Amino acid sequence: MLLGRTCTELESRLEEIDWTAHETPQKTPPFFGLPVILLSPSPIIHNIQNNKKQKMSQYFSNNENSLNTVTTVNVSNNFTVADNRSSILAWLSPLEPRLRHQDVRASRVGNIGEWLLQTKEFRSWYTGSEGGESNNAVLFCYGNPGVGKTFIR
Amino acid sequence: MIDRLCDQAGGQNAAVACFYFDFAAQKEQSPTSVLGSLLKQAVGGLEEVPGELATTYENQKKVIGGRGPQLSGIVRMLQTTSSKKPTFICIDALDECAAGYRVKILDSLNQILDKSPGTRVFVTGRAHIRPEIGRCFAGRATSVSVSPKRDDIITYLRTRLHEDTTPDAMDSSLEAAILKKIPEDISEM
- Residue B51's domain is classified under what CATH number? 3.40.50.300
**B154 and B120 within one domain:** no
Check CB contact under 8 Å for A129 and B159. Answer: no
Q: Is residue B18 part of a domain?
A: yes
**Per-residue pLDDT at B131:** 92
Q: How far is CA A124 from CA A135, A138, A153, B111, in A?
A: 9, 11, 17, 21
What integer pLDDT is reported at residue B1 of this predicted model?
A: 65
ipTM of the complex, rounded to two decimals: 0.77
Beta bridge pairs of residue B92: B20
CB contact under 8 A, B146 and A142: yes
pLDDT tens track for B33-46: 999 999 999 998 88
State whether B122 and A128 contact (CB < 8 Å).
Answer: no
Nearest to B145 among A111, A138, A143 (CB): A143
Residue B12 falls within a domain, yes or no? yes
Residues B111 and B63 in one domain: yes
Q: Is B74 found in the same domain as B154?
A: no
Q: Is the pLDDT of residue A42 over 60?
A: no
Question: pLDDT band for position B11 (50/70/90)?
Answer: low
What percent of chain A shows pLDDT beyond 90?
A: 3
**Contact criterion met (CB < 8 Å) for B57 and A91:** yes
pLDDT band at B123 (very low <50, low <70, confident <90, very high): very high
Residue ranges making up the domain that contains B128: 2-140
Instruction: Give the gap in angstroms from C-alpha A33 to the nearest C-alpha of chain B.
Output: 23
How far A132 CA lies from chain B's nearest CA (Å)?
Answer: 4
The three-state secondary structure class of B87 is strand
Q: Where is average pLDDT lowest: A18-22, A54-58, B91-95, B153-157?
A: A18-22
Distance set, CA B36 to CA A105, B41, B46, B102, B147 (Å): 23, 9, 15, 15, 32
Average pLDDT estimate for A65-89? 52
- B160-171 tens-digit pLDDT: 777 877 777 778
Looking at the fold, whether B173 and B82 belong to one and the same domain comes out as no
Name the domain count of chain B: 2
Band (pLDDT 50/70/90 cuts) for residue A65 is: very low
Tell whether B99 is covered by a domain.
yes
* DSSP structure class, residue A94: S
The pLDDT of residue B117 is above 60: yes
Q: Does B182 lie in the same domain as B100?
A: no
Say if CB A56 and CB A17 are below 8 A apart: no
What local confidence, expressed as pLDDT, does residue B107 receive?
A: 94
For residues B94 and B157, state if they share a domain.
Answer: no
* CB-based contact B125:B95 (threshold 8 Å): yes
Cβ atoms of B44 and B6 within 8 Å: the answer is: no
Q: Pick A26 or B128 by higher pLDDT.
A: B128
The mean-pLDDT minimum among A20-24, A126-130, B87-91 falls in A20-24
Question: In this structure, are B64 and B31 located in the same domain?
Answer: yes
Chain A residue numbers with beta carbons less than 8 Å from the beta carbon of B11 are: none
Compare A36 and A88 and report the one with higher pLDDT.
A88
Q: Are B160 and B95 in a shared domain?
A: no
Q: Closest CB to A95: pick one of B37, B126, B140.
A: B37
- Is the CB of B120 less than 8 angstroms away from the CB of A129? yes
Q: Is B145 within the bounds of a domain?
A: no
Strands (E), B27-170: 87-92, 120-125, 141-145
Q: Which of A89, A105, A142 sits opposite B130 (nearest CB)?
A: A142
Q: Are residues B89 and B109 both part of a single domain?
A: yes
User: Is the Cα dihedral A48, A51, A57, A58 positive or negative?
Assistant: negative
Nearest CA of chain B to the CA of A76: how many Å? 14
pLDDT, residue B138, reads: 84
Q: What is the pTM of this model?
A: 0.64
Are B112 and B155 part of one and the same domain?
no
- Taking the CA of residue A123 as centre, how many other CA atoms within 13 Å lie in the half-sphere pointing to its CB? 4
**What is the structure's pLDDT at B184?**
78
Q: Answer whether A140 sits within 8 Å of B146, measured CB to CB.
A: no
Q: Considering only the C-alpha atoms of chain B, give the largest distance between any 2 of them, rounded to a whole number of Å.
A: 71
Task: Report the DSSP beta bridge partners of residue B33.
Answer: none
Q: How far apart are CA A136 and CA B8, in angstroms?
A: 19
Name the H helices within chain A.
2-16, 35-39, 43-62, 64-79, 84-92, 97-107, 114-118, 120-131
Task: Report CB contact under 8 Å: B1, A136.
Answer: no
pLDDT: which is higher, A87 or A68: A87
Cα–Cα distance measured from residue A53 to residue A47, given in angstroms and rounded to the nearest whole number: 9
Distance from CA of A50 to the nearest CA of B (A): 35
**What does pLDDT average to over chain B?**
86
Cross-strand pairs, B91: B19, B123
Instruction: Return the closest-CA partner of residue A144 out of B175, B15, B44, B186.
Output: B186
Edge to edge, what strands does the sheet with B141-145 contain?
B15-20, B87-92, B120-125, A138-142, B141-145
Among A80, A86, A88, A92, most B C-beta atoms within 10 A, so best to mutate, is: A92
Determine whether the interchain pair A141/B137 forms a contact, defined as Cβ–Cβ distance below 8 Å: no
- CA-to-CA distance for B141 and B123, rounded, in angstroms? 10
Instruction: Name every chain A residue with its beta carbon within 8 A of the beta carbon of B39.
Output: 92-93
Q: What is the mean pLDDT of residues A102-111?
A: 72
Min Cα–Cα distance to chain B from A90, Å = 8
Do both B156 and B134 map to the same domain? no
Tell me the per-residue pLDDT of B70-87, one tens digit each, with 9 for 90 and over: 999 999 999 999 998 889
**B11 & B65 share domain:** yes
User: For A51-60, which contacts have Cβ atoms below 8 Å and span 24 or more sequence positions?
Assistant: A52/A14, A52/A19, A55/A19, A55/A20, A56/A19, A58/A19, A58/A20, A59/A19, A59/A20, A59/A22
User: Could you give the CA distance from residue A79 to residue B81 in angstroms, rounded to a whole number?
Assistant: 28
User: For strand B120-125 and strand B141-145, is the pairing parallel, antiparallel, or unpaired?
Assistant: unpaired
Residues 6 or more apart whose CB falls under 8 angstroms from that of B163 comprise none
User: Cβ contact (<8 Å) for B148 and A87?
Assistant: no
At B185, the pLDDT band (50, 70, 90 cuts) reads confident
Where does the pLDDT of residue B103 fall: very low under 50, low under 70, confident under 90, or very high at 90 and above? very high
Mapped onto helix, strand or coil, the DSSP state of residue A39 is helix
